[in-house]
Amino acid sequence: MPQNPNNPARRSFLQQTTLLAAATSLATLSNSSWASTTSPIARVRSGRLAGQTEAGVHVFRGIPYGADTAPRRFQSALVEQPWRGVREALDYGAAAPQTGSEGPGSEDCLYLNVWTPALRDGGKRPILFYIHGGAYNNGSGSDPLYDGSNLCRRGDVVVVTVNHRLNLFGYLYLAQLGDEHFADSGNVGQLDLIQALQWLRQHAAEFGGDADNVTVFGQSGGGAKIATLMAMPAAKGLFHRAWTMSGQQATAAGPRAATQRAQLVLEHFKTDADALRRMPMQQLLEAVKVRDPSRVENSSLYVGPVLDARNLPVHPFWPQAAQQSATIPMVIGNTHDETRAFLGNDPKNFELSWEELPAKLEAQQYVDLLPSVVIAEYRRLYPQYSPSEVFFAATTAGRSWRGAVEELEARARQGAPTWAYQLDGYDRDGDAAKLRAFHTLDIPLVFHNNAQPGSRTGSGAAMQQLADTMSDALLAFARNGDPNHPGLPQWQQHALERRQTMLFDTRSRQMDDPRGGERRLYQQAPFIQRGTF
């Protein structure tokens, strides 16, 4: 794993371990009274780890939970190799192979990070396991917005973030195009997450946590990965609560559709499946730019979890919610203005005319309804809306929010304990005011990380109060399986009769069936999860 010699934590660690080497043996380092004032030492299955104490929180970054995946590309991972002595856990591990700002990454990417108030103290703290977004293509657990320090201090909990295989390396389904080496290929990214959860169960007590009280939470692609885990038999019993934010996976990719997409990759390289196992990493990454055959979206190749009758035997939320997770309490949330995060980067979208709107909706709502019908209904529901406001509202309702509605209805029919929320609050005086409650805005709020780099919540008192409210709801949910807490109005479980939903805002409130008119409008067309066909 690459180390950053300029990392202040690393420099401090090197100074400390130089002194420790002269004072005591490594074998007794973690038991010495002096060690408690220097680097915290954790014992895991493959060796000892030296972390760093930061403002009272013990932090261990870049902990390996699996071996380098390059020798077993498209296969389930092996456990990590053991090491001798004490391994530094000061720097984040490599991200998975990917394009974009965190690329190119490395196939040696199975790392997780832990924030904890204490080691080996029998504290049995709730564990919050965060799965990053970026669809199934990009991202890592090292974004500053995912720093677990504030949650750890605020709630006396253990926080974990994780890297795992993504895009072609994690979800390219080659089982029907090659030999037994490819049997798991469409879901190895999910199997990595299961392996990380198994590692966590084994080491929960070492980090002061409770192996029987693990909450998985994630945003966007992270929420979709959680929804998928809820239908994977190998994940049963590894987590006990689920909190998803703007991330749904009602259905997985069908095996025929996933095979057709894999065939496009083979055609792109003019080769066979076995050759992909040996292809240089960065060359294989080129195939993420292959055009997807779906007529729904004009975009790069879709890869995601596959209904492979092996690791994922049923669709997560169709025709019903997976039975194995019926007793797991779940929170399903979205933001009010999701698509402003994607479509708000074009200034022209804020200046649309009524004449321009139909063509824009035709391209971006992802639902096969006549734009004229959609526009007429929005003008009836919200006569004060401008064409641009209709555009952002309709694309939000016609895209990711529909998946949340599907999941909420499936859970309600199942009688499973479920709470719904919608984030309405945003900094009305800040730089991001035009984006309103956009996709990803809830991340810094639940992590209580308003001041972290990348946060666009604003740092005023109102948004800080909203961060208090949302992070305390997450902490209450992790501790009790119920998100209610004294700083929040009563939040009832979601039921089909009323569709109770918490509207998180500077003054939060519960409302029955918010945006019910929009929900009924879009239910005129069937919901189709991207990649299903």
| Whole-number Cα distances in Å, 269 to 120, 170, 251, 290 | 51, 19, 29, 11
pLDDT tens digit sequence for 9-67: 444 444 444 333 333 333 333 333 323 347 999 999 999 999 999 999 999 999 999 99
Ramachandran class of 85: left when φ > 0, alpha when ψ lies in -120 to 50, beta otherwise: left
DSSP 433-469: GGG-S-TTTHHHHHTT-TTSTT--S--SHHHHHHHHH
pLDDT the model gives residue 99: 94
pLDDT tens per residue, range 362-397? 999 889 999 999 999 999 999 999 999 999 999 999
Positions of the chain with pLDDT under 70: 1-37, 295-298
Q: Residue 402 to residues 257, 301, 340, 470, 528: CA-CA distances in angstroms?
A: 22, 22, 16, 23, 9
Residue 47 has φ and ψ, to the nearest 5°, of 150, -165
Query: What integer pLDDT is reported at residue 57 of this predicted model?
Result: 98
Angle at 247 between CA 330 and CA 209, to 5 degrees: 50
Q: What's the CA gap between 162 and 56, in Å, rounded?
A: 22
The angle formed by the CA atoms of residues 532, 389 and 364, to the nearest 5 degrees, is 25
Query: Are 218 and 131 contacting, i.e. CB atoms less than 8 angstroms apart?
Result: yes
Catalytic-residue membership of 351: no
CA distances from 425 to 274, 330, 440, 500, 515 (A): 50, 22, 13, 18, 16
The catalytic position among 106, 149, 220, 246 is 220
Residue 296's pLDDT is what? 62
Active site residue 356: no
Distances (CA, A) of 494 to 226, 297, 485, 500: 19, 31, 17, 5
What are the tokens at 281?
């990493």
Partners of 1 in the β-ladder? none
- Tell me the C-alpha to C-alpha distance, in Å, between residue 346 and each of 107, 340, 374: 35, 10, 22
Give the bridge partners for 64, in sequence order: 111
What predicted TM-score, i.e. pTM, was given to this entire model?
Answer: 0.93
Contact call for residues 84 and 75 (beta carbons, < 8 A): no
Q: How far is CA 27 from CA 24, 86, 108, 302, in A?
A: 8, 9, 28, 49
The vertex-418 CA angle with 414 and 422, nearest 5°, equals 130
473: left (phi over 0), alpha (psi -120 to 50) or beta: alpha
Per-residue pLDDT, 508: 98
Residue that the structure tokens 């979205």 belong to: 334
- Confirm if 141 and 61 have CB atoms less than 8 A apart: no
Concerning whether 338 is annotated as a catalytic residue, the answer is yes
pLDDT at position 35, please? 34
512: β partners:
500
d(CA 245, CA 439): 9
Cα(110)–Cα(194) distance, integer angstroms: 12
Helix 400-414 vs helix 387-398: angle between axes, to the nearest 10 degrees?
40
For the domain bounded by 330-533, which CATH number is listed?
A: 3.40.50.1820
Beta bridge partners of 421: 333, 502
| Domain 330-533 in the same topology as domain 61-85+92-245 | yes
Q: Which CATH class is domain 61-85+92-245?
A: alpha beta
Question: Which residues are registered as beta bridge partners of 57?
Answer: 54
User: Distance of alpha carbon 70 from its chain centroid, rounded?
Assistant: 24
Alpha carbon of residue 151 to chain centroid = 17
Among 160, 48, 65, CA closest to 111: 65
The amino acid at residue 94 is: A
Q: How long is the chain? A: 533
In one-letter notation, the amino acid at residue 488 is: L
- 88, 107, 338, 406: the active-site residue: 338
Cα dihedral sign for 288, 407, 112, 8?
positive
Domain boundaries, the chain: 61-85+92-245, 330-533
Closest CA to 223 of 533, 532, 511, 529: 529
The DSSP bridge partners found for residue 52 are 59
d(CA 448, CA 446): 5
What ranges make up the beta strands (E) of 154-228? 158-162, 209-219
From 58, 439, 448, 494, the catalytic residue: 439
Picking from 11, 89, 14, 99, the residue whose alpha carbon sits closest to that of residue 44 is 89
* Cα dihedral across residues 437, 392, 528, 263: positive or negative: negative
DSSP characters for 404-432?
HHHHHHHHHHHT--EEEEEE----TTSTT
Amino acid identity, position 272: D
